[in-house]
């Protein structure tokens, strides 16, 4: 089965059998959430149980996060349980080694604050079951949720 691709500044969702993937996380933030649907609706419409967001710093950051949060809250209200999340962020200590741009002290501080804020918000959304993966700026990551509900972070 081909994955549902989540591009930069997008949110995707899928059912248990779907694969969701996003690619090229450098200083962008990747958020994967998955859970178990407590009840199946009668007419065979499988509810979403997987959610993936690729947040880029910029004008869409807040709206993409709000869309992700809304989808997860909606699923929780309709029986999503045993929820866990993985958040992929850049290790801000490595930004001075960025091969593509020079980061100012203020930009590094801003990225650090943004990372901490989104990790805290994801924690509020899903509870304590959150795993944070930090990576070197020059080691871009891909993030996916497999059909067997594994949340994988791999190097490009």
Three-state SS at 89: strand
Least confident of 11-20, 31-40, 118-127: 31-40
| Distance between CA atoms of residues 95 and 108, nearest Å | 7
CB burial readout 26-53, b (16+ within 10 A) else e: bbbbbbbbbbebeeeeeeeeebbbbbbb
**Bridge partner list, 77:** none
Length of the chain: 156
pTM score, whole prediction? 0.95
How many domains does the structure of the chain reveal? Answer: 1
User: Per residue in 106-154, pLDDT tens?
Assistant: 999 999 999 999 999 999 999 989 999 999 999 999 999 999 999 999 9
Of residues 135 and 44, more confidently modeled: 135
Q: Under a CB-based contact definition with an 8 Å cutoff, are residues 68 and 34 in contact?
A: no
Report which of 3, 92, 111, 88 is spatially closest to residue 50, judged by C-alpha positions.
Answer: 3
Domain with residue 131: its CATH number is: 3.30.1330.200
Q: Under a CB-based contact definition with an 8 Å cutoff, are residues 54 and 10 in contact?
A: yes
Q: Which domain holds residue 13?
A: 4-155
């Amino acid at each position: 089965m081909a994955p549902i691709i989540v591009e930069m500044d997008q949110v995707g969702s899928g059912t248990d059998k779907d694969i969701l993937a996003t690619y090229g996380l450098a200083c962008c933030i990747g958020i994967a959430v998955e859970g178990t649907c407590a009840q199946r609706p009668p007419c065979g419409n499988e509810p979403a149980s997987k959610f993936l967001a690729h947040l880029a710093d910029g004008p869409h950051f807040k709206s993409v996060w709000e869309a992700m949060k809304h989808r997860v809250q909606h699923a929780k209200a309709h029986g999503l349980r045993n929820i866990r999340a993985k958040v992929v962020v850049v290790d801000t200590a490595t930004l001075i080694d960025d091969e593509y741009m020079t980061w100012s002290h203020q930009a590094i501080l801003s990225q650090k604050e943004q990372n901490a804020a989104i990790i805290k918000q994801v924690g509020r959304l899903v509870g304590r079951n959150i795993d944070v993966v930090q990576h070197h700026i020059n080691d871009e990551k891909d993030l996916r949720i497999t059909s067997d509900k594994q949340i994988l972070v791999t190097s490009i």
